[in-house]
Amino acid sequence: MDLEARAHEEHHDALRLWLRMLTCTQLIEQRVRSRLREQFETTLPRFDLMAQLERSPEGLKMNELSRRMMVTGGNVTGITDQLEAEDLVERTAVANDRRALCIRLTDAGRKAFADMAAVHEGWIVDALAGLSEREVATLHKLLGKVKQHMNANEVTA
């Protein structure tokens, strides 16, 4: 096979992989979204925001939340408004910078999240139950390379 034909094949493989990644993610994501709605009357971005805060008990600034959730700032404001109205998170002042706000889970929020997270983890374990422990590790490692490469190429428009 000549080089060009080989390149074409490799390109096709990349595309096929991408379509499969998309399919797998959508299958799991749709299931998670509908169960979050049905069982907890919440949404994935709300769950995601609370999960970020759970991992940072000292709280996170709005722009840090925005970066981690990979959405723009206005959206974080909206979701935070909802969760604050339900007393699940709170905005607190930041020392030495009166522009910034620190968002934290409230006690009620921490408890509500713990309940959801336990069930949520079960959904994910089920979804990935077709893989051996070792295959999970391999996937994690390979996707780590993808992530790293994407982040390195961030600027390349």
Binding residues (CB under 7 A) for DNA: these are: 30, 33-34, 43-46, 61-64, 69-81, 91, 94, 96-102
Binding map of its own copies across residues 1-30, x = CB under 8 A, - = no contact:
---------xx-xxxxxx-xxxxxxxxxxx
Structural tokens at position 93: 């002042």
* CB 69 within 8 Å of CB 120: no
Contacted entry of DNA, its own copies, none for residue 74, CB cut-off 5 to 8 Å set by kind:
DNA
Question: Nearest CA to 21 among 29, 32, 11, 9?
Answer: 29
Angle subtended at Cα 152 by Cα 66 and Cα 6, rounded to the nearest 5 degrees = 130
Pair of tokens at residue 63 = 């722009």
| From the list DNA, its own copies, none, partner contacted by residue 15 (C-beta under 5 to 8 A by kind) | its own copies
Residue linked to tokens 């983890």? 121
Residue closer to its own copies by CB (options 23, 92) is 23
110 binds, among its own copies, DNA, none (CB under 5 to 8 A by kind): none
Looking at 85-93, 94-102, 108-116, 128-136, which segment touches its own copies (CB under 8 A)? 128-136
Q: Which is nearer to DNA, 45 or 51 (CB)?
A: 45
φ/ψ bin of 70: left (φ > 0), alpha (ψ from -120 to 50), beta (otherwise): left
Distance of alpha carbon 62 from alpha carbon 67, whole angstroms? 9
Q: List residues binding its own copies (CB under 8 A).
A: 10-11, 13-18, 20-31, 70, 121, 124-131, 133, 135-140, 142-153, 156
